[in-house]
Structure 1
Amino acid sequence: MAPRNILFLMTDQHRADTLGSYGNALAATPVLDELAATGTRFDSWYTPTAICTPARASLLTGQAPFRHRVLANHERNVGYLEDITPGTFTFVEALREKRYNTGLVGKWHAGTEKNAADFGFDGPDLPGWHNPVDNEDYLGFLRERNLPPYAISDRIRGTLPNGGPGNLLAARLHQPVEATFEYYLATRTIELLERYAADVDRDGTPFFLELSFFGPHLPYIVPDEFFDMFDPADVELPKSVIETFEGKPPVQRNYSAHWTFDTMPIEVTRKLIAVYWGYVALIDQQIGRVMDALRRLGLVDDTAVFFTCDHGEFTGAHRLHDKGPAMYEDIYRTPGIVRVPGAPAGQVRGEFVSLVDATATILDIAGIDPSPAVDSRSLLPLVRGESPVWPEEIVCEFHGHHFPYPQRMLRERRYKLVVNPDSVNELYDLQVDPDELINVYAHPEMAEVRGRMMRRLYVALRERGDNFYHWMTTMYDVGDVDYDPTQSGLDETTYRSGERVG
């Protein structure tokens, strides 16, 4: 019998290279590594956009960001929609119609006026982008267990261009692990899992349960055990820490100043990475508690398990922190693991897949038509070891954070093209420059690759209905077009039936 239950494990701002299963020899991630060893690890899993709310709205709807139009985080919104338009398809409402129990414990951040409960999720209401340590349910959790409140020291931050203190990047948390927000989230998830397991036993009601951690998003605030888990001397800095921004869009240098990279010694960068790895280890430990509960409740053989995140994190790569208007692998390529009972174990798939594809996969597992998730494709054929026809490229997008900043990216196996309307475009040869340090867009020898990829991106955007292509029509060689790119509707001598006649 195919599995019907779904446990969806999600983190926020999580680099793929923090996991042992993705090649980090120092990582303390035995639980997620075991999930990869017993399931399918995707090596080319991408976010549709490296920003929290739009990515999460894409997971919810199965739509690319340009289509659902929730394009920025509430906290830094610059005029975009803040909630999914009423009537938009969501996978959770489809599951509810199929008589699923549906729960979400942790970060929602997929809208502002509407919370997770408005879409049919059980679980505590936990708004915002960071651990809401003043949330009443969490405070009650601490009181019930006589645990100490949130308190921090050893803050790490740089100096802003205007001379003010930079964003908090990390701090030492003066609470035992049992009092951390991560432990609280895992506990509430286990409680809901036990409730759902009782329904499975009573009448076979299936469930979808998502545990969504707020971390390892910065600031990395963890107890001593994890703050000091890794020796900074053992941390290998990302090679792109030598970034010069030469030939790159100037906004990247500005973002580096915003994140105060050059105002902190390189030893601080090593410590930040070490604490970030410690934060990942804390989360892995708490996921382990949930996986233990899944086994204890006898649900392993009938439950598909996902692990992924909304997007990545720089942690010093390209002299940046957080995320922003730079479409580097550090924030677009993320971990993605799927375990489906009965499917081959220990697979590694290299196909280009997306967080958006998780939507159709969830629906497919539930026996629901995935076609309303219009930009999503079920991963089940890949998880089952099949060899379906699959795209050899992926398109990603960005719309701004702090300020509007539209970008589109086409990623092939070897090359990546980024179109930046306000600035220089970018082209990277990832075979010879995996760290994306050298922008070869203007190099004469790249003319064929540049032209081919520009034309392919143009066609892909038109096929999707992403109007970004209009800018490309007039600015670049995109090949023959079958419409009047001026959109005037007046110059009938210029275009007729797609052919230039004047």
Structure 2
Amino acid sequence: MTEMVQKPNMLIIMVDQLRYDCLGYSNQAPVLTPHLDKLASEGMWFDRAYNHIPICGPARQSFVCGRRAEAFGGLWNFSLGMQIGALEPTSYSWARSLQGAGYRNGYIGKWDVHPTYDPTHYGYDLFVSSDEKYRERTKAQYPELAYTEGFFGEIDPLPLEDTRTHQTAAMATALMKQLSEESAGSPWQLRVNFQEPHLPCRPVAEFAAMYPPESIPEWGSFRETFANKPYIQSQQLRNWEIEHYDWADWAPIVARYYAIISQLDDAVGKLLAGLDALGQSENTVVIFTTDHGDMCGGHRMLDKHYVLYEDVVKVPLIVRWPGVIAPGSRCEQFVQTLLDLPPTLLAISEAEPLVDHRLHGESLLPLLLGAEPAGWREEVVASFNGAQFGLYTQRMIRTREWKYIWNCTDVDELYDMYHDPHELHNVIHHPANKTVLAELRKRLYHILYEDGDGIVQNDWMRDQLLEGRKG
């Protein structure tokens, strides 16, 4: 590790609902993201980064405290569906630990951690509610503006510089400059939270023109039949009134998703140019990731609820640290992004070790330095508990070869990820898989129990996993 004159600044860019395969650097979907591709080429790209709970509020609350949502009761979004609590300000926050290590912290954009308390109650010195400012500015400048196509999206008639992506980038650049000036040589940490590409996708015409709908290829999972799958998956199509959609209906929606990602990439490029203009790029760790992915037509589904397909749990993660991370690095280890980043940030900041708060992730610092730590995890675990369409408990364990999904009140799912990467064929009942299924259930149980997941804290649910009492 290169000896540092001072602790590095940290710029954490989190976007909303971005699929792993929709960055150009992934070499999968035909999406153009030159600025993020450049960022990845200058640092480390993670091939196996996974979200641990693919829903906005719980994922973001977990990121603040470094623990699985089930450990503190953040089971679903507090703003939709049945009333539920949120992460309280009395909870641990790694941002406070960074303050103790000499950092000045700023936060801008989407929050979703608590309906009442903003980031200044969780260890941030400065907070800008960029979406509120964007709405106020747009209402004043464009009083006749109206969007009419709901969740399915449409072309944004605003000038590019007045769109939410670029207004967020402009406000974030200004906040970064303020942090830098007020820190007076001390390190700073800034979290920038874009709301794109979360639906509805509204790219401007310039970016929409890059993706004619007729040029958009089908997802590999699009010809889903839902045979031997949990009932709730086909019900989701009925909830959204899309059960009769074919690819001709989906292609324009996916095209707008691609387009808003390219527009978002342009906005991120402007933010990174702002960092360059401050002359602080060489001593700033830049982290880019998302809270979770998006179905966006995958398996014929919309949004992200009631499934743990790769579409929603596999996420992009990029870390650039000049002079420390070798440019063009790739990491193929399993990473639980929003659980592993908190201990990573603590390690980078040289914050005091935690005494009475157990984090559920592992520091990525050894991986960033090019090491292969002994005993690194061989699986990732994710969960889902319900949303605005009702309660539904799921737990997932994903290894390199297999994915097992425990659906507590419906048929379980087992996918051979080598031979069925699009997760179309549920082989849970295949006799040849009996041994591997038992092993996956056992591994899942022990991880859930260790992390304090209440769903396995009684004999009935324990026996589903350990005794195979599941149809």
Find out whether 1:84 has 2:87 as its counterpart: yes
Q: Distance in 2 between matches of 1:57 and 1:365?
A: 21
Q: Distance in 1 between matches of 2:465 and 2:106?
A: 47
Count of aligned pairs: 455
Q: Distance in 1 between matches of 2:111 and 2:15?
A: 11
Contact 1:138 1:184 in 2 (8 A): no
Classify the secondary structure of the residue corresponding to 1:196: helix
Contact 2:22 2:29 in 1 (8 A): no
Deviations, residues 168-211 of structure 1 (Å, cap 9, x unaligned):
211121101011011111111111111122235xx312111111
Deviations, residues 130-179 of structure 1 (Å, cap 9, x unaligned):
xx4xx356534886xxx545735573xxxxxxxxxxx5211121101011
How far residue 17 of structure 1 moved from its aligned partner, in angstroms, is: 1.0
Equivalent in 27, 30, 50 of residue 23 of structure 1: 27
Classify the secondary structure of the residue corresponding to 1:451: helix
Find out whether 1:353 has 2:335 as its counterpart: yes
Q: Distance in 2 between matches of 1:68 and 1:434?
A: 33
How far residue 235 of structure 1 moved from its aligned partner, in angstroms, is: 1.1
Equivalent in 52, 55, 61 of residue 51 of structure 1: 55
More divergent stretch after superposition (109-118 vs 38-47): 109-118
Find out whether 1:192 has 2:175 as its counterpart: yes
Q: Distance in 2 between matches of 1:153 and 1:66?
A: 37
Aligned to 2:158: 175
Deviations, residues 397-424 of structure 1 (Å, cap 9, x unaligned):
1111122211111111100110011100
Contact 2:89 2:121 in 1 (8 A): no
Find out whether 1:448 has 2:445 as its counterpart: no
Aligned to 1:365: 348
Find out whether 1:117 has 2:120 as its counterpart: yes
Aligned to 2:384: 398
Aligned to 2:67: 63
Contact 1:252 1:326 in 2 (8 A): yes
How far residue 276 of structure 1 moved from its aligned partner, in angstroms, is: 0.3
The change in CA–CA distance for 1:93 and 1:476 in structure 2 (over 3 A counts) is closer
Classify the secondary structure of the residue corresponding to 1:11: strand
Find out whether 1:435 has 2:422 as its counterpart: yes
Find out whether 1:386 has 2:371 as its counterpart: yes
Deviations, residues 4-51 of structure 1 (Å, cap 9, x unaligned):
200001100100111110114632201110111011111111111000
Classify the secondary structure of the residue corresponding to 2:434: helix
Contact 2:339 2:359 in 1 (8 A): no
Classify the secondary structure of the residue corresponding to 1:293: helix
More divergent stretch after superposition (253-262 vs 314-323): 253-262
Give the aligned residue type for 2:360. Answer: D
Q: Distance in 2 between matches of 1:443 and 1:267?
A: 35
Equivalent in 136, 139, 154 of residue 139 of structure 1: 136
Q: Distance in 1 between matches of 2:146 and 2:206?
A: 14
Q: Distance in 2 between matches of 1:243 and 1:217?
A: 23
Classify the secondary structure of the residue corresponding to 1:334: coil
Structure 1 stretches lacking a partner, 5+ long: 127-131, 156-166, 480-502
Q: Distance in 1 between matches of 2:434 and 2:285?
A: 46
The change in CA–CA distance for 1:17 and 1:152 in structure 2 (over 3 A counts) is farther
Structure 2 stretches lacking a partner, 5+ long: none
Contact 2:87 2:114 in 1 (8 A): yes
How far residue 363 of structure 1 moved from its aligned partner, in angstroms, is: 1.4
Q: Distance in 2 between matches of 1:365 and 1:51?
A: 28
The change in CA–CA distance for 1:46 and 1:444 in structure 2 (over 3 A counts) is same
More divergent stretch after superposition (288-297 vs 365-374): 365-374
Contact 1:150 1:174 in 2 (8 A): no
Classify the secondary structure of the residue corresponding to 1:311: coil
Deviations, residues 77-125 of structure 1 (Å, cap 9, x unaligned):
42432x2134211011222233322111111111212122322431323
Contact 1:328 1:436 in 2 (8 A): yes
The change in CA–CA distance for 1:434 and 1:466 in structure 2 (over 3 A counts) is same
Contact 1:116 1:125 in 2 (8 A): no
Give the aligned residue type for 1:52. Answer: C
Contact 2:9 2:189 in 1 (8 A): yes
Contact 1:149 1:175 in 2 (8 A): no
Classify the secondary structure of the residue corresponding to 2:445: helix
Find out whether 1:377 has 2:362 as its counterpart: yes
Classify the secondary structure of the residue corresponding to 1:75: coil
**Aligned residues: percent identity?**
32
Q: Distance in 2 between matches of 1:424 and 1:26?
A: 35
